[in-house]
Amino acid sequence: MRHDESRALYDRALSVLAGGVNSSVRATKPYPFFVERGDGAHVIDADGNRYIDYVMGYGPLLYGHDAPEPVQAAVQKHAAAGPMYGAPTEIEVEHAEFVARHVPSVEMIRFVNSGTEATVSAVRLARAVTGRDKIVVMQGGYHGAQESTLVEGGPESVHPSSPGIPSSFAEHTIPVPFNDTETIHEVFEEHGEDIAGVLVEPILANVGIVHPVDGYLQTLRDVTEEYDSLLIFDEVITGFRVGGLQCAQGKFGVTPDLTTFGKIIGGGFPVGAIGGKAELVEQFTPGGDVFQSGTFSGHPVTMAAGHEYLKYAAENDVYEHVNRLGEKLRSGISDILEDQAPEYTVVGTDSMFKTIFTRHGPAD
């Protein structure tokens, strides 16, 4: 493979973009390949090299890079009608109705522009409605580039994980080990009256793909109810992938108070959302006093793409198909690793998969 064009583009980017990229995860070494276009299950880079795209936009591209005709038509229709209005449109109402109809926790929703914006807003809302400051998160979890969750350490030794975050911010965040019921009970026994909520991915996706052990999510549900805290599921990655239209919360049978979304809810366009009980979500301004606003929130092109994207999945057995492909891929890689590289194993569920290094090989 030749990478002359990508290398030249990266050299140019280094002089005008921080680190040569607009998101740090794209800065592969010695230089990233620059994508020219997508084509079905592939991407083609600036040098004409073709790659199988297992990333698919970090999750949202259920149909690969060739969206079904109804999705493309909806995007073109709304893009042609005008770039933006700063006013409500019918399509955002239709999309909100669709999400509320399918996701167990969602009675009301507020669309925003990214997963980070969604989790920032959810944390603010939890603190406001409970009158408390502390947020419990999982070690190894990820909730976007926000001050409240960019932390390291344990329950009694937390500190910021990035320069630029005051230590006083980290004092309000309590990281705990995922799947450790003993620690979560200890933390609530000590800090329960100060905990606004637990923010958790139902499946940790930032450090491999770590599934909850039986009963763990229900433990979080029970302890937050006992202490009048909120349970917040971050489904930016699992939403409308794991568990289909009901998301991971439907798959695991645990309903949180709030859910954050991103990626796929906009059909791959920039998007985020906070959904949950109406009595909570309606506390956002202007219905309540918790400030939340955004010029591009509910953008009509994004709403149209997301609505047609998920509606197509609902009407065409898409999840059955992609989940079957996911299982076939995981099984095939596992068979190869069993003979060729037993120090690796494959994890995942539904259409998610990852190959990870293990010290002693797959667990029995």
Q: If you average pLDDT over residues 319-323, what whole number do you get? A: 95
pLDDT at position 212 is 97
* pLDDT exceeds cutoff 50 at 173: yes
Could you tell me the CA-to-CA distances from 270 to 91, 113, 118, 201 in Å, in that order? 16, 6, 12, 20
Domain spans in the chain, listed from the N-terminal domain onward: 1-53, 69-315, 317-363
Domain 69-315 class in CATH: alpha beta
Decide whether 1-53 matches 69-315 in CATH topology: no
Q: Confirm whether 142 is a catalytic residue.
A: yes
Per annotation, catalytic residue among 142, 309, 312, 319? 142
* Domain formed by 1-53, architecture: Alpha-Beta Complex (3.90)
pLDDT at position 156 is 87
Contact by Cβ (8 Å): 322, 62 = yes
pLDDT at position 359 is 58
Q: Confirm whether 263 is a catalytic residue.
A: yes
Kindly report the length of the chain. Answer: 364
* pLDDT exceeds cutoff 60 at 364: no
* pLDDT exceeds cutoff 90 at 116: yes
Query: What confidence tier does 49 reach under pLDDT thresholds 50, 70, 90?
Result: very high
Of 327, 352, 174, 354, nearest to 248 by C-alpha is: 352
Contact by Cβ (8 Å): 21, 27 = yes
Q: Indicate the residue type of 287.
A: G
Q: What is the pTM of this model?
A: 0.94
Per annotation, catalytic residue among 216, 263, 309, 350? 263
Average of per-residue pLDDT values in the chain: 95
- With DSSP H G I counted as helix, E B as strand and the rest as coil, what are the percentages for the chain, rounded to 5? 40, 20, 40
Per annotation, catalytic residue among 45, 234, 257, 350? 234
* pLDDT exceeds cutoff 90 at 271: yes
pLDDT at position 177 is 97
